[in-house]
Amino acid sequence: MGWLTILIMLALLSASAFFAASETALTGASRASMLRLSKQGNSDANVVSELIGMRERLIGALLLGNNIANIGASALATGVFTEWFGDVGVLYATAVMTILVVIFAEVLPKTIAINAPDRVSLAVARPMRLTMYVLGPLLTVIEAVVRVLMRIVGIKVGANQPVLSPVERLRGAVDLLHHEGKVEKLDRDMFGGLLDLRELQVSDVMVHRTEMVMVNADLPAEELVGEVLASEYTRIPLWREKPENIIGVLHAKDLLRAIRASEGDMSKIDVSAIALPPWYVPEMRSVSEQLKAFRRRKTHFALVVDEYGEVEGLVTLEDILEEIVGDIADEQDVVVAGVRAQPDGSVVVDGSVPIRDLNRAMDWALPDEEATTVAGLVIHEARSIPERGQSFTFHGFRFRVLRRERNRITALRIVPVPREAEIEEKKPKRAGTAF
């Protein structure tokens, strides 16, 4: 009888180990992995997804099964040791069962499960589903009692308020994988850029009107053609009378076709006739919506206007794609040294460099909510247009103005500084000493 009891006790310990491993595996299994396996035809993955979807009942079944197994094994061990050693057997049973439960029924199975949660969850899915069916009636009673107790203490049943949005959780998961070395920085930045498209407006990625390349449509044909061919861009806005009056967008290919059709006679070319009508989009439109609009219209170029209808800049499909994949350079691009790292650890930056591009290049986290460019950020923080040579410290960096042209900051030197130095610099300095 004693040996049979020991066999039953070992079986209960094995059941306890099974429930412990199942708890760790099923709570740590990746829902994304299970969804992917389900689409590949893995039926066990479907069962895992089903169990995860019934999380409340699953936890109840795991805890109930684990406690029944542990209590049953402890009771049998107490009986066996009491029979062998008398009253002192209770102490022996407690010591032995504590060691067996902690090592073999808790730590060991959970360690195995935590190292391969997806594989273990696939292995235990079907037995766990059967266990839930068997314990179903008892679990229903337990859930009802728990819900009543939760209402008594004022906890809302089913209330789930995540701290982060799903998008931020995705971003956090990718950042974690990058930190662990499983995702490269380039891939992390591309994924982050894709998630940012809904949060960005066209004004955040557009080329400002001060940097637009435009051509006067009233120029002589030969001079106009020369300016178009000298430009590195294939689509160029045409203006007449004043730069704000844009009459169309000239495509270099259309111009070359017109030159060929006129057999090289420039005087026969009417650029206003071959130019495409301008397409205006509002500056507050989201970048994701603008990307969809580009795809619908099958065009790559749009002019951006403010709420008063004034041209603020232009946006292209390439500008949006660069928010995802980073700068795209081709053989015609002019290399502009916008960010230049210095040997002393500082970085010299053109004032017109977008904050997002600087963050991506240097792996920094400067805020871009209030300003689009680095110069705009300094002006926003300084609440004025700084003079050449002025320095400011904020967001963990020291900004020094190197060049200023009229009301524009054209170059800055940025140096990362410790937070302690920034706090110390913000402390008011005493004007003198009182006697």
pLDDT score for 165 = 66
Q: 300 and 294 in contact (C-beta within 8 Å)?
A: yes
259, with CB counted inside 10 A (0-12, 13-18, 19+), is: middle
In this predicted structure, the answer to whether residue 423 has a pLDDT above a threshold of 50 is no
In this predicted structure, the answer to whether residue 302 has a pLDDT above a threshold of 90 is yes
Across 121-128, average pLDDT: 92
Structure tokens at 365: 């986290």
Across 373-397, average pLDDT: 90
Confidence of residue 330 (pLDDT cuts 50, 70, 90): low
pLDDT score for 164 = 57
Across 251-261, average pLDDT: 88
pLDDT score for 402 = 93
CA–CA separation, 48 and 294 (whole Å): 42
In this predicted structure, the answer to whether residue 95 has a pLDDT above a threshold of 80 is yes
pLDDT in tens, 29-61: 888 888 888 888 888 889 998 888 888 788 888
Confidence of residue 328 (pLDDT cuts 50, 70, 90): low
For 280-370, list the strands marked E by DSSP: 280-282, 301-305, 311-316, 339-341, 347-350
Query: DSSP assignment, residue 300?
Result: -
Structure tokens at 61: 């079944």
In this predicted structure, the answer to whether residue 432 has a pLDDT above a threshold of 50 is no
Q: How many CA atoms lie within 13 A of 27 on its CB side?
A: 15
In this predicted structure, the answer to whether residue 329 has a pLDDT above a threshold of 70 is no
CA–CA separation, 108 and 9 (whole Å): 18
pLDDT in tens, 175-223: 877 787 878 877 887 888 888 888 888 988 888 888 899 999 888 888 8
Q: Please report where in the chains the tokens 């109840």 appear, as a residue.
A: 60
pLDDT in tens, 144-183: 888 888 788 877 665 555 555 677 777 777 887 778 787 8
What is the SS3 assignment for 268? helix
Q: Minimal CA–CA distance to 398: which of 372, 417, 426?
A: 417
Higher per-residue pLDDT: 317 or 263 = 317
pLDDT score for 435 = 31
pLDDT score for 147 = 80
CATH superfamily of the 202-325 domain: CBS-domain (3.10.580.10)
CA–CA separation, 220 and 269 (whole Å): 10
pLDDT score for 177 = 79
CATH class name, domain 339-426: alpha beta
Partner residues linked to 399 by β-bridges: 392, 414
Ordered DSSP codes for 122-171: HHHHHHHHHHHHHTHHHHHHHHHHHHHHHHHTTPPTT----SS-HHHHHH
Q: 393 and 387 in contact (C-beta within 8 Å)?
A: no
With the CA atoms of 93, 99, 101 and 105 taken in that order, what torsion angle do they form, in degrees rounded to the nearest 10?
A: -150
pLDDT in tens, 200-211: 889 888 888 888
Across 406-413, average pLDDT: 90
Q: Where are the alpha helices (DSSP H) in 262-302?
A: 271-274, 287-297
pLDDT score for 248 = 92
pLDDT score for 282 = 94
215-219, 225-229, 264-268, 405-409: which has the minimum mean pLDDT? 264-268
Structure tokens at 78: 């107490």
Max avg pLDDT among 143-147, 247-251, 338-342: 247-251
In this predicted structure, the answer to whether residue 327 has a pLDDT above a threshold of 80 is no
Across 124-145, average pLDDT: 87
Task: Please list, in sequence order, all residues whose beta carbon lies within 8 angstroms of the beta carbon of residue 234, skipping any fewer than 6 positions away.
Answer: 251, 252, 253
pLDDT score for 54 = 85
